[in-house]
Amino acid sequence: MLFLYAAAHTLGLKVLDKATTRDERGSITIEQVLWALGVIVFIGIVFAVIRQFVTDSAAKIDDPIK
């Protein structure tokens, strides 16, 4: 009877441990993808701002050929 109690107790502990541990496989990959997307968006915004500045500055220059 003691063997049955010990086996049930061990099984219960294993099930409880499996239920409470979080499986975090893949979280590093998701984090890296989100960082990459953030960097790409930031570079896109900087590029758009610089392009707009250059376009506005070029429009202000008088064409000497006219």
* Rounded distance between C-alpha atoms, residue 36 and residue 44, angstroms: 12
Higher pLDDT, 15 or 40: 40
* Rounded distance between C-alpha atoms, residue 60 and residue 52, angstroms: 13
Backbone angles phi, psi at 54, to 5 degrees: -65, -40
pLDDT given at position 31 = 87
Q: Give residue-wise pLDDT tens across range 18-59.
A: 777 676 666 788 889 999 999 999 999 999 999 999 999 888
The dihedral formed by the CA atoms of 38, 41, 42 and 45, expressed in degrees to the nearest 10? -160
* Rounded distance between C-alpha atoms, residue 35 and residue 41, angstroms: 10
pLDDT given at position 49 = 96
